[in-house]
Structure 1
Amino acid sequence: MCSKLHTCCIAFAILLLLALPALSAEPAKRSYTLAVVPNQPAITLHKNWTPFVQYLSKQLGVEIELKLYDKIDVFLSETQKGAADLIYSAPNMFYLAYQKQKYVPLVRSSHPLQGQVFVRKDSPYLKVSDLKGKTIASVGPRSICSVITRHALLTGQGAIDYNSTFSGSTINVAKSVLLGKVDAGVTLDTSVINDAPEMLSEFRVILRTEKIAPHPLAAHPRVPKKLQDAVTRAVLALDQSEEGRRMLKDVKLVDPIKANFKRDYSFFAKVDLEGPRQQAK
Structure 2
Amino acid sequence: MTRCKYNLFCLTLAILFLAALPCLARATEKSYTLAIVPNLPAVTLHKNWTPIAEYLSRELGVKVELRLYDKVTTFIEQTQAGDADFMYAAPNMFFLAYQKQKYIPLVRGSNMLRGQVFVRKDSPYTKVKDLEGKTIAIVGPKNVCSVITRHALITGQNIDFNVSFSGSTINVAKSVLLGKADAGATLDSSMMEDAREMQNELRVLMQTPQIPPHPLAAHPRIPKKVRDAVTAALLNLDKSEQGRKMLEAVKLTRPVKADYKRDYSFFANVDFDRLEKQQPKPAK
Q: TM-score, normalised by structure 2?
A: 0.88
* Structure 1 residues 99 and 29, CA gap change in structure 2 (3 angstroms): farther
- RMSD over aligned CA atoms reads 1.2
CA contact (8 A) 1:128 1:207 kept: yes
Equivalent residues in 2 for 1:179-218 (5 A)? 179-218=178-217
Q: C-alpha distance in 1, partners of 2:28/2:213?
A: 33
CA contact (8 A) 1:117 1:184 kept: yes
Q: Which runs of 5+ in 1 are unaligned?
A: 1-26
What is the aligned partner in structure 2 of residue 41 from structure 1?
41
Identity in percent: 66
What is the aligned partner in structure 1 of residue 85 from structure 2?
85
What is the aligned partner in structure 2 of residue 21 from structure 1?
none
Q: Which runs of 5+ in 2 are unaligned?
A: 1-26
Q: C-alpha distance in 2, partners of 1:78/1:276?
A: 18
Q: C-alpha distance in 2, partners of 1:276/1:228?
A: 33
Q: Shift of residue 36 of structure 1?
A: 0.2
CA contact (8 A) 1:164 1:276 kept: no
SS of the aligned residue for 1:155 comes to: helix
Q: Shift of residue 29 of structure 1?
A: 6.7
Q: Shift of residue 273 of structure 1?
A: 2.5
Q: C-alpha distance in 2, partners of 1:57/1:151?
A: 39
What is the aligned partner in structure 1 of residue 281 from structure 2?
280
What is the aligned partner in structure 2 of residue 17 from structure 1?
none
Q: C-alpha distance in 1, partners of 2:53/2:265?
A: 28
Q: C-alpha distance in 2, partners of 1:28/1:104?
A: 26
* Structure 1 residues 29 and 224, CA gap change in structure 2 (3 angstroms): farther
Give the total of aligned pairs.
254
Equivalent residues in 2 for 1:43-122 (5 A)? 43-122=43-122
Q: C-alpha distance in 2, partners of 1:136/1:118?
A: 9
* Code of the aligned partner of 1:262: K
* Code of the aligned partner of 1:140: G
Deviations 1:200-241 (A, max 9, x none): 111110000011111000000111100000000000000001
SS of the aligned residue for 1:240 comes to: coil
What is the aligned partner in structure 1 of residue 226 from structure 2?
227
Q: Shift of residue 272 of structure 1?
A: 1.9
Q: C-alpha distance in 1, partners of 2:188/2:112?
A: 10
Q: C-alpha distance in 2, partners of 1:80/1:167?
A: 26
Q: C-alpha distance in 2, partners of 1:276/1:79?
A: 18
SS of the aligned residue for 2:153 comes to: helix
Q: Shift of residue 280 of structure 1?
A: 1.6
**Would you identify which runs of 4 or more consecutive aligned residues in structure 1 move more than 6 Å?**
none
Q: C-alpha distance in 1, partners of 2:244/2:118?
A: 32
Deviations 1:167-213 (A, max 9, x none): 11111101000101100000001111101111111111000001111
CA contact (8 A) 1:108 1:256 kept: yes
Q: TM-score, normalised by structure 1?
A: 0.88
CA contact (8 A) 1:151 1:272 kept: yes
SS of the aligned residue for 2:95 comes to: helix
What is the aligned partner in structure 2 of residue 134 from structure 1?
134
Q: C-alpha distance in 1, partners of 2:182/2:199?
A: 16
CA contact (8 A) 1:147 1:272 kept: no
Q: C-alpha distance in 1, partners of 2:181/2:64?
A: 44
SS of the aligned residue for 1:223 comes to: coil
Q: C-alpha distance in 2, partners of 1:28/1:144?
A: 39
Q: C-alpha distance in 2, partners of 1:229/1:113?
A: 26
What is the aligned partner in structure 2 of residue 268 from structure 1?
267
Q: C-alpha distance in 1, partners of 2:139/2:38?
A: 13
Q: C-alpha distance in 1, partners of 2:33/2:72?
A: 17
CA contact (8 A) 1:140 1:167 kept: yes
* Code of the aligned partner of 2:281: A
What is the aligned partner in structure 2 of residue 246 from structure 1?
245
CA contact (8 A) 1:102 1:221 kept: yes
What is the aligned partner in structure 2 of residue 18 from structure 1?
none
SS of the aligned residue for 2:206 comes to: strand
SS of the aligned residue for 2:264 comes to: helix
Q: C-alpha distance in 2, partners of 1:170/1:201?
A: 15
